[in-house]
Structure 1
Amino acid sequence: MNFMSIKDASKKRPTIRDVAKVADVSVATVSRFLNGKTQKMSDQTAERIRVAIKKMNYVPNSAAREMARNSSRIIAVLAANIADYFSVEIYRGISSRVEEAGYISVLLNSGSSLTHERQLLHSINQHGFDGLVFQPLTSDTEQVAGELTRDFPVVVVDRDLPRSTWPKVVTDNYEAARSTTEYFADQGFQRVVVLTSTIELASTRIQRFQGISQAASTIETIEIDENNFQPDAVYGALKKALSRPGKCLLFALKERWLLEFLPRLMKEHVIDEARTAVTGFADTALIGSICPYAKVVSQNPFLMGQRAGEILLQMLKGKKNIPEESVIKAQFKH
């Protein structure tokens, strides 16, 4: 049995010229059809081209089409850390919107590393993405703008970049944290143990901490360096803080840390419902399964992603007067 080589097979692949010949039209007419420019084309001509394409199993050269219309139809989504359910849900929301409009979304992961984020931004500058939805690790606008030098549509999600010209989709972090802390303070949980990644690196954490500070009498903060995470050391500090006399509220600024430490705290009876209230920003049902009396703040990251995708599509269409900020309100489930 003789098999065609890859080289031979490529010679047999139909071209746009072959389609034009079978449909009895010009190559330019087939090109217009492939790019959706059929307004001035008769129904009979369009049908002949459609039949020829189907008959010959013709697959358009996507790279050539991208060059012709100066568009890749690919959207980059740069997430802070896909180890967090929140970031993954944002991506799902974005994809649900842009794919409806014929775009493909590509997920890139900074992995909580500023160095890796800079590398990815450099790569985005060099490649032909049509737009970017960005969940930055830092709130330093000048630093981000210095790295992202390409002039194309950008939407920032889950971060506040002061003086940035890019539209943003955020949660009402300050108010959600303040009102939640106040709810527990009214029940006698005046002392708060805040469990968080490094606060100063992200606007979301800064705003949440400010909200807690506004309503709490006493705050003890346990900050985690995600690039040098030492679980036993963090657990030791957390256990010590939660074991002090009197009622206290454990407030995690990220769901990941509740998932990391709650099971062990429950197992070793470090916390109980009478002495310790548990809350945090969380968007899955897992926290309630681990700690039935926990009451969490849900941000709806899928909806945030959808909104970011919608704004990016509007920008790609050239729409003006895009809102500078879109706020998706968090919900305290109590």
Structure 2
Amino acid sequence: MKKKITINDIARHSKVSKTTVSRYLNGKYENMSEQTRQHIEQIIKELDYRPNRQAQFLKSKNSSLIGIAVGDISNFYTSLLIKGILNRLKSTNYRSLIMDSDLSRSLEKKNIEKLVDEQIDGMIIQPIGATSESYKEIREDFPVVQIDRFVEPLIWPAVVSDNFQKSKELTQLIIDKGYQRIIVVSPPLINSTPRIARYEGLIDAIRNTNVEIKEIIAPEAKNLNSDLNHLKEITELLKDDIKTAIYTFNGPLLYESLGFLKEKQLRIPTDVGIAGYDDESFGELMGPGITAIEQNLVEIGFQAMDKLLQIIETQKLKLEITTVESKLVERKSL
């Protein structure tokens, strides 16, 4: 029978202390040289060591498990956030448990309760609820970081895009191109701080101008289908001579709107301009090239996970909103 490898074996082969090995296994690399970390990692691979997670938990009261509760895992946008989170976890011994709330607050509540029951060490949450009162199932001192959006009043730190600023810049670009009407296509703004910030940036840019705003309320991304009835108003608005641009608040709506314009044989930008938020630089592949705001979603996920690990390590929670800069890419659709 193969001998079970222990921490003592790793320490002996690595010629370091048992405490140093233990710190490595718990992802605590502070005051540990890169050479030592790599050496221990190599010895662990050579000895084919597999830690006993249950024993580790009983001894340290840490599960080495991170909970992740996202709003809609079917959204490509969300998958990029998760990629960033997991990229940060690669250099640690933490495992992740991902729960999909499917844009349901009641399901989100159950998911959070399940994560807490798993004795997770911390949680990243993409909240669906609007206020902190909605999250009483999480104790106040528990390590939590919000990603993409946040509840108010702020009770946990958050990592988000610079939605207000980039929306304002895009709107200003539309105005500078001579457009007199902007058709805003967005799901309902309620309970979504990113959409609210984008709308506020839009309004701030058109203040003291004569630019007309028309709003089209669209379904959530997961409910989009071949039924484009909510976009039919666009053709009605294009019957006059007012120079018009479409501004979509997320990637799926941008691509859906492009499909609608193609179906109606409307030319971009001759008949109508279009721009919006893009999920992964697809705008350069579409039609004449679509002017779009490209968010650094992977970096948002990475920073959120990094912040959570700091909270777990230091047991100190600093209430702040960290903004990750996006990029406005001007192409030929305006």
Within the candidate set 211, 214, 217, 1:220 is matched to: 214
Distance 1:332-1:63 versus aligned 2 partners, 3 A rule? same
SS where residue 62 of structure 2 aligns?
Answer: coil
Instruction: Flag the structure with higher helix content.
Output: 1
SS where residue 222 of structure 1 aligns?
Answer: strand
- The corresponding residue for 2:165 is 175
User: Deviation at 1:96?
Assistant: 0.9
Preserved contact between residue 35 and residue 65 of structure 1 (Cα < 8 Å)? no
User: Deviation at 1:36?
Assistant: 5.2
Task: Using the aligned pairs only, state the percent identity.
Answer: 23
Matches within 5 A, 1:179-328: 179-216=169-206, 217-226=211-220, 231-240=226-235, 243-245=238-240, 246-318=242-314, 320=316, 322=318, 324-328=320-324
- The corresponding residue for 2:97 is 106
Matches within 5 A, 1:28-39: 35=22
Letter in 1 for 2:143: P
Preserved contact between residue 296 and residue 333 of structure 1 (Cα < 8 Å)? yes
Task: State how far apart, in whole Å, the 1-side matches of 2:299 and 2:213 are.
Answer: 32
Matches within 5 A, 1:65-214: 65-143=56-134, 145-149=135-139, 151-214=141-204
Preserved contact between residue 185 and residue 217 of structure 2 (Cα < 8 Å)? yes
Task: State how far apart, in whole Å, the 2-side matches of 1:321 and 1:201 are.
Answer: 24
Flag structure 1 segments of 5+ consecutive residues without an equivalent.
1-11, 26-30, 39-46
Letter in 2 for 1:224: A
Distance 1:312-1:13 versus aligned 2 partners, 3 A rule? same
Task: State how far apart, in whole Å, the 1-side matches of 2:78 and 2:5 are.
Answer: 42
Preserved contact between residue 77 and residue 108 of structure 1 (Cα < 8 Å)? yes
Segments ≥4 residues shifted beyond 6 Å: 31-34
Range 228-237 or range 157-166, more displaced:
228-237
- The corresponding residue for 2:32 is none
SS where residue 278 of structure 2 aligns?
Answer: coil
Preserved contact between residue 216 and residue 231 of structure 2 (Cα < 8 Å)? no
Distance 1:102-1:330 versus aligned 2 partners, 3 A rule? same
Preserved contact between residue 129 and residue 191 of structure 2 (Cα < 8 Å)? yes
Task: State how far apart, in whole Å, the 2-side matches of 1:36 and 1:203 are.
Answer: 38
Preserved contact between residue 281 and residue 294 of structure 2 (Cα < 8 Å)? no
SS where residue 317 of structure 1 aligns?
Answer: helix
- The corresponding residue for 1:44 is none
Preserved contact between residue 199 and residue 206 of structure 1 (Cα < 8 Å)? yes
SS where residue 175 of structure 1 aligns?
Answer: helix
Task: State how far apart, in whole Å, the 2-side matches of 1:234 and 1:154 are.
Answer: 40
User: Deviation at 1:285?
Assistant: 2.6
Preserved contact between residue 250 and residue 276 of structure 1 (Cα < 8 Å)? yes
SS where residue 102 of structure 2 aligns?
Answer: coil
Preserved contact between residue 110 and residue 120 of structure 1 (Cα < 8 Å)? yes
Preserved contact between residue 139 and residue 159 of structure 1 (Cα < 8 Å)? no
SS where residue 149 of structure 2 aligns?
Answer: coil
Alpha-carbon deviations, 1:143-191, whole Å to 9, x = none? Answer: 1x22434742100111132222211111221121112111111111121
Task: State how far apart, in whole Å, the 1-side matches of 2:200 and 2:133 are.
Answer: 23
Task: State how far apart, in whole Å, the 1-side matches of 2:111 and 2:20 are.
Answer: 36
Count of residue pairs brought into register by the alignment: 302
Preserved contact between residue 277 and residue 294 of structure 2 (Cα < 8 Å)? yes
Alpha-carbon deviations, 1:286-312, whole Å to 9, x = none? Answer: 233223242001110111111111111
Preserved contact between residue 85 and residue 302 of structure 2 (Cα < 8 Å)? yes
Preserved contact between residue 146 and residue 157 of structure 2 (Cα < 8 Å)? yes
Range 231-240 or range 60-69, more displaced:
231-240
| In the alignment, structure 1 residue 330 sits paired with structure 2 residue 321 | no
Preserved contact between residue 193 and residue 241 of structure 1 (Cα < 8 Å)? no
Task: State how far apart, in whole Å, the 1-side matches of 2:49 and 2:3 are.
Answer: 6
Task: State how far apart, in whole Å, the 1-side matches of 2:236 and 2:198 are.
Answer: 20
Task: State how far apart, in whole Å, the 1-side matches of 2:290 and 2:205 are.
Answer: 19
TM-score, with normalisation over the residues of structure 2?
A: 0.79
User: Deviation at 1:202?
Assistant: 0.4
Task: State how far apart, in whole Å, the 1-side matches of 2:108 and 2:267 are.
Answer: 37
SS where residue 201 of structure 1 aligns?
Answer: coil
